[in-house]
Amino acid sequence: MTMAAKKKKIPPAAVLVPKLSPKRFFGHGLPGVSLGELPGKLIVVEGADGSGRSSQIARLVTWLEGGGHHTIQVGLKRSTLVSEELEKAQQGNILSRTTLSLFYATDFADQLENVILPALRAGSMVLADRYIYTLMVRDLVRGMNADWLQNIYGIALVPDAVFYLEVCPEQLVQRVFAKTHTLDYWESGMDLGLSRDMFASFLKYQGLMRDQFRRLQTTFHFSIIDGERSPEVISQELQRRIEGVLARG
């Protein structure tokens, strides 16, 4: 090594400061939105019913607010525009796959425009109890066109971090039964005709969902978290990962 090479110094910033990825939309986005004016963070926790998703978000809220961060929570079927209508429509178990998809897309779009983006502009931490990944996976399992889905959800903002809590179907069904003593028609995929038995249909459907999440991960590169560990261990991992997001500014 020459003396010149020995004296050459790498700027500290190149070593210590990670390169920041500016906020961006998945596709065409929403008109009139200035991405440079969204200082808040969008953190997504994905996972099936019974994966511990909602419990982990509750832990994150306590942890973040204890550290001085203002938090806002969003999730599926929480839109003031269509959530009640969607709930009523699902009770009849007769929705077509396209109608179901468009209902959820409308629910998401309303929350994005009226809750998520305003909260990010205000610098809040937005915690999403599922996001477009669950919606896309559900539709893909039901045979919807991937390009059509990507166009619909081109309005979505790319999150600062996404964590998918993966739990095997056999564990999920035990957790759901322990909590509710019943299985949901749609979360069991009964509309797909996988089995006349709801228990068997649940296992098959959740297996298909898990497979699609793994395929989607190769495209969107979100983090897959082992959701079969203790809640405390999972919580510690999520906090550690989110600390890394916050450290990037």
pLDDT digits (tens, 9 = 90+) for 119-166: 999 999 999 999 999 999 999 999 999 999 999 999 999 999 999 999
Q: Is residue 53 part of a domain?
A: yes
Query: What DSSP line would sit under 46-97, residue for residue?
Result: E--TTSSHHHHHHHHHHHHHHTT--EEEEETT--TTTHHHHHHHHHTT---H
Q: Is residue 57 part of a domain?
A: yes
**Above pLDDT 90, what percent of the chain?**
82
Lowest mean pLDDT among 86-95, 99-108, 196-205, 222-231: 86-95
Q: What is the DSSP letter of 116?
A: I
Give 93 or 73, the one with higher predicted confidence: 73
pLDDT at 70: 97
Strands 71-75 and 161-166: what pairing? Answer: unpaired
Q: Is residue 12 part of a domain?
A: no
pLDDT at 21: 52
Dihedral sign computed on CA atoms, order 209, 212, 214, 219: negative
Q: Is residue 214 part of a domain?
A: no
Write down the pTM of the prediction: 0.88
pLDDT at 86: 87
pLDDT at 134: 97
Name the strand (E) or helix (H) holding 204: helix 198-220
Q: Is residue 196 part of a domain?
A: no
Q: Is residue 48 part of a domain?
A: yes
Q: Is residue 186 part of a domain?
A: no
Counted domains in the chain: 1
User: Which CATH number covers residue 111?
Assistant: 3.40.50.300
In this structure, how many other beta carbons lie within 10 angstroms of the beta carbon of residue 45? 25
Where are the strands (E) in the chain, listed by range?
A: 41-46, 71-75, 125-129, 161-166, 223-226
pLDDT at 85: 87
Residue 7: is its pLDDT beyond 70?
A: no
Range of the domain at 88: 30-168+221-247
pLDDT at 22: 78
Confidence bin at 52 (pLDDT 50/70/90): very high
Instruction: Round to whole Å and give the CA distance between 123 and 126.
Output: 9
Dihedral sign computed on CA atoms, order 229, 126, 38, 24: positive
Q: Is residue 228 part of a domain?
A: yes
